[in-house]
Structure 1
Amino acid sequence: MTVTRFQDLPLADRDREWDSAAADKRVRKWAGAEEQPNDKYRQAHLWYDADDADEFGAYKLPIADVVGGELKVVPRAVIAAAGVVDGARGGVRIPEDEISRVKAHLAKYYAKMGDTPPWER
């Protein structure tokens, strides 16, 4: 189980809507991962279960979408993921010792957005 490496992806417009299911379809196509996940697909997520890396269900906390042919982090996805990591919507089922690393990853994108993560307010 592991937190993905910080990619420092460009940000999409702050007002861009976030639809994780639609984004997942675009990311799979962009990554050439229609049959199974690959390294490019992984870039769109914050966490995955390395033991099941060849299963789409192993990937959690998506934060990116394909915009203009480029993978970009969607600010509303970052906000949604931060809420889930902080306990919203029942939280996320990942190892407790990896939560702080996920939060650190999210905090980098919050800084890039010129904002502060909710757990630091």
Structure 2
Amino acid sequence: MAVTTFHDFPLAPRDREWDGAAAEKRVRAWADAQDKPTPRYRDAHIWYDAGSKQNFTAYKLLFTDIANGRQVAVPRAIMAAGNIMQGSRGGIDLPEPDITRVKNHLAKYYKKMGETAP
């Protein structure tokens, strides 16, 4: 189990809509991850199961998208991930030791947005 490294991606505009399914397609194409996940694909998520990293289903909490050929962190995706970590949408099943690290990762983006993390 693993929390991805914080990369301090630039933020997309605050009003950018979040469509996770569409973002997933753009990230896969941009990361050259059509057949299997790549390191660039991994970095678009906050958490992944390191023991199954060759499976797309091992990756959770997608928070980036591609805009003008660049990977950007999407504020609405960050807030959705924060809410999921608080139990919305049924929550998320992560190993206990990773929960604090995921929340810390999210908190850095909340701070960058001028917000307080949940």
TM-score, normalising length: structure 2:
0.99
* SS of residue in 1 equivalent to 2:47: strand
Question: Using the alignment, how far apart are the partners of 1:75 and 1:14 within structure 2?
Answer: 6
Are 1:10 and 2:10 matched, yes or no?
Answer: yes
Matched residue, 2:83: 83
Distance 1:21 1:76 in 2: 14
Structure 1, gaps ≥5 residues long: none
The Cα of 1:97 is off from its aligned counterpart by: 1.5
For residues 18-62 of structure 1, the C-alpha deviation after alignment (integer angstroms, 9 at most, x for no partner) is: 011100000000000000001000111000000000000000001
Task: Give the AA of the match of 1:45.
Answer: H
Provide TM-score, normalisation by structure 1. Answer: 0.96
What amino acid sits opposite 2:69 in the alignment? G
Q: 1:86: how far off?
A: 1.0
Cα-to-partner distance string for 1:66-119 (whole Å, 9 max, x where unaligned): 01110000000000000001111111111111110000000000000011012x
- Partner residue in 2 for 1:22: 22
Number of residue pairs the alignment of both structures matches: 118
| CA distance in structure 1 between the aligned counterparts of 2:84 and 2:113, rounded to whole angstroms | 19
- Superposed counterparts of 1:22-101, under 5 Å: 22-101=22-101
Q: 1:14, CA displacement in angstroms? A: 0.3
CA RMSD of aligned residues (A): 0.5
Superposition misfits of 4+ residues, deviation over 3 angstroms: none
| Distance in 2 of aligned mates of 1:70 and 1:42 | 15
